[in-house]
Structure 1
Amino acid sequence: MKYLLKTARESKALKTRELAQLLGIDQALISKFESGTRKPTKEQILKLATALDINYETLMVAWLKEKILYEIGDDALALKALKEAEEEIKYNRSVTNNIISNALQSVLDQIDVLKIKLDQFRQFDSFRIAQALELEYTFESNRIEGNTLTLRETDLVINEGLTISGKSMREHLEAINHQEAIAYIKHLMEKNTTLNEREVLSIHNLILRGINPDDAGRYRKVQVMIKGSTYMPPQPYMVSKEMEDFYIWYETHKNNLHPVVLAAEMHERLVTIHPFIDGNGRTSRLVMNLILLQHGYVIANIKGDYDSRMQYYQSLETAQTQNNKEDFLLFIAQIEKQSLERYIGIIGQ
């Protein structure tokens, strides 16, 4: 692993001091990582992979291999122990990854068929259709959070630059900011940028820009409660560590879960950490849709009407308080299925 780190750093023309600054650690640690006298932590592995553009899985495997060899050396029973450990790891992964129920798998199968059809119609994509659907997404996502602008008013604010009488400045900014955040996730999708802390903070910064500038793009420093929910988010001192685990989970699972399940999981995990003072719901839905767009799907637009909102909140509550994500994963899969059907129906006419 030490050679991998040094080669990657030198290929990017970075000095150890510059890499240390990017990672927020002491320069001496970088030298020790590269000489093999010190091993990075799991959290540092993620940061190193991101900073040096090294495949996370490649770096993690190298790190685990060295960790295993350091612990067991060339003990005569090492190979037998490794064989038994392999069987136990396989068993544990089969248990922890068993999140796909028959009902969810059925919806995912239907989504897979729709995705094939979508790919066949991609040549008929239209900027105006995309613009209209993105406007609807902004309207619905803000409506979930209590914004009272109608769809027509949202259009006038965003596309005509008009001010709506009787509506607050915050509601106007929520519409403008959300539309810009959609443009930003589409930019990330086109660049094929991997999901990381910088991008999530940038999305949140756009959501709260001009509304709450002191907290825009920053993790919360106080405890919060979720209105209407019995779930209590983690204490503020835990947020940074929870978010580190959030990105590690993504890197670990991004290649072995169905994209719709991956997107839903990242939505639920982010909103459960509730890392921000405000804007957690909108940011979580944007992160979910960034992942969907990166995998060639369409925006999953959760409606803001009472029934849809209650089903959304109740499935989240079940995931957060009962450690049962089935309802939420199924809810998001059904929303994506409906969004695909509508999109194909429009461009396929």
Structure 2
Amino acid sequence: MKSLIKNAREKKGLKTRELAHLLGIDQALISKFESGTRKPTKDQVVKLASLLEIDYETLMVAWLKEKILYEIGQDEFALKALQVAEEEIRYVAKNNTNTLSKSLTTLLTQIDVLKAKLDSFRQFDSYRISQTLELEYTFESNRIEGNTMTLRETDLVINEGLTISGKSMREHLEAINHQEAIAFIKELMKKNTSLIEREVLSIHNLILRGIHPEDAGRYRKVQVMIKGSGHTPPQPFLVAKEMEDYFIWYETNKNKLHPVVLAAEMHERLVTIHPFIDGNGRTSRLVMNLILLQHGYVIANIKGDYDSRMSYYKALETAQTQNNKEDFILFVAQIEKESLERYLAIIGQ
């Protein structure tokens, strides 16, 4: 493990003090991790995997191996204990498997068939198509949050730089900011960077830029309530820890779950924490779509009309108050399926 960390750090061109600063720990600890005289905590392993772009599973296996060897490696009963532990771990894993429902499994299969078809016709992609669909996404995402601009007005503001009479400055900024946030997640997609706190804060900063500059890219310091919802977000002093757990969950599960399930989970978990004073919905949907784009899917564009919005809110409410995410994951999967079908129809396939 020590060589994994050192090699990755040097490959990134980071000094030990720079890595220590990013981790928020003393520089001497990094040297001890690399020499093998000190073991990082599990949370530090997750952060190291993200910062140094080491495969999380590879680093975690190395960490657990050294932990096991340190604890029982010299004991005469070590092998026997490992055999018994392996049987128990397999039993627990078998009985704790979160199996997907038949309806969700069927839907994900249909989605992957559509994606495979799209992959074979990527040569028909064009800037014009992407521009049109991204404009629609900005329009719908803002409409969910109460923005009253039409699709045409949104286009005029973003692409022509016009001011729409009778529309507030906030509505204009929401359109411009959201389009820039889409450009930002596309850049992240191209870089194939892992989702970390800095990126989510940057997305939120773009969403609220010029609207709430003092809150843009910062976690809330006050308690909030969600209108019309029975869910109460965590107290402000818990937000930082909840977000830390959020990224740990992502690193732990990003290679285990179907990308559509992962994207839906990351959306629901973020909006449930509600870490920001404003802009949580837009940021959560952008995080969801960043994950989808990174895995080769298309933007899942949740519509802002009344019926779609109510279905969206109802599925979220069920996930947040009844600890049942099935409806929400199904909702997102259905939106992604429809988005893929529309994309294929546009390119004539």
Shorter-chain TM-score range: over 0.9
What's the counterpart of residue 32 of structure 1? 32
1:104 touches 1:330 (CA, 8 Å); kept in 2? yes
- With 29-38 and 19-28 compared, the bigger mean Cα shift is at 29-38
Alignment map for 1:1-349 (pairs within 5 Å): 1-348=1-348
CA change 1:316–1:138 in 2 (3 A) is same
Structure 2: which 5+ runs fail to align? Answer: none
Letter in 2 for 1:6: K
State how far apart, in whole Å, the 2-side matches of 1:11 and 1:341 are. 41
2:157 touches 2:175 (CA, 8 Å); kept in 1? yes
Deviation at 1:97, TM superposition (A): 4.0
Letter in 2 for 1:234: P
Letter in 1 for 2:68: I
State how far apart, in whole Å, the 1-side matches of 2:268 and 2:87 are. 30
TM-score (norm 2): 0.95
**What's the secondary structure of 1:162's corresponding residue?**
coil
Deviations 1:79-137 (A, max 9, x none): 33323333333344344442410010111111111111111221111211111111110
State how far apart, in whole Å, the 1-side matches of 2:328 and 2:10 are. 45
- With 13-22 and 274-283 compared, the bigger mean Cα shift is at 13-22
**What's the secondary structure of 1:223's corresponding residue?**
coil
1:99 touches 1:326 (CA, 8 Å); kept in 2? no
- With 113-122 and 45-54 compared, the bigger mean Cα shift is at 45-54
Matched pairs, number: 349
**What's the secondary structure of 2:121's corresponding residue?**
helix
1:220 touches 1:277 (CA, 8 Å); kept in 2? yes
Deviation at 1:222, TM superposition (A): 1.7
Structure 1: which 5+ runs fail to align? Answer: none
CA RMSD in angstroms, aligned pairs only:
1.6
Deviation at 1:218, TM superposition (A): 1.1
State how far apart, in whole Å, the 2-side matches of 1:95 and 1:151 are. 49
Deviation at 1:58, TM superposition (A): 1.5
Deviation at 1:224, TM superposition (A): 1.4
TM-score (norm 1): 0.95
Deviations 1:264-289 (A, max 9, x none): 11111111111111111111100110
Identity %: 82
State how far apart, in whole Å, the 1-side matches of 2:323 and 2:336 are. 23
CA change 1:209–1:94 in 2 (3 A) is farther
State how far apart, in whole Å, the 2-side matches of 1:86 and 1:325 are. 31
**What's the secondary structure of 1:281's corresponding residue?**
helix
CA change 1:180–1:71 in 2 (3 A) is same
CA change 1:208–1:92 in 2 (3 A) is farther
Deviations 1:44-77 (A, max 9, x none): 1122223323222221111111222223333333
Deviation at 1:13, TM superposition (A): 4.1
